[in-house]
């Protein structure tokens, strides 16, 4: 169950620090050493995102939006239907 949670959370874009804390790991290094293999494209995605930010192509959506609801069909606390609150 823990491995499934960690794998799904990291693949969904949950920050590794948050996953590490939820799993009760002493350091984020333990989490990344154990679960980073599930994210083979993470390095290329990060490089592309940073390159777009630096080069001014910030109008494009990121390859994997991390600030959007994971379940867009479920209402959020504000009663919205998965839309970002500041959008």
The per-residue pLDDT for range 12-51, each reduced to its tens digit, is 888 889 999 999 999 999 998 988 777 777 777 778 888 9
CA angle 81, 83, 84 (to 5 degrees): 140
* One domain, residues 11 and 33: yes
Q: What is the pLDDT of residue 78?
A: 54
Average pLDDT value for residue range 60-76 = 53
DSSP 24-37: T-SSHHHHHHHHGG
* One domain, residues 52 and 73: yes
| Percent of the chain predicted with pLDDT > 90 | 21
* One domain, residues 13 and 45: no
The predicted model scores a pTM of 0.51
Q: What is the pLDDT of residue 65?
A: 54
More confident residue, 63 or 34: 34
* One domain, residues 36 and 56: no
* One domain, residues 18 and 46: no
* One domain, residues 86 and 47: yes
Q: Which domain holds residue 77?
A: 41-87
* One domain, residues 48 and 64: yes
* One domain, residues 45 and 87: yes
Residues 6, 20 contacting (CB under 8 angstroms) = no
Number of separate domains in the chain: 2
* One domain, residues 31 and 51: no
């Amino acid at each position: 169950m823990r491995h499934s949670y960690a794998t799904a959370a990291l693949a969904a874009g949950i920050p590794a620090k948050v996953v590490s804390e939820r799993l009760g790991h002493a350091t984020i290094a333990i989490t990344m050493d154990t679960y980073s293999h599930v994210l083979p494209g993470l390095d290329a995605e990060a490089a592309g995102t940073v390159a777009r930010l630096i080069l001014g192509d910030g109008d494009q959506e990121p390859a994997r939006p991390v600030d959007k609801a994971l379940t867009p069909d479920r209402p959020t606390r504000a009663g919205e239907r998965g839309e970002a609150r500041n959008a």
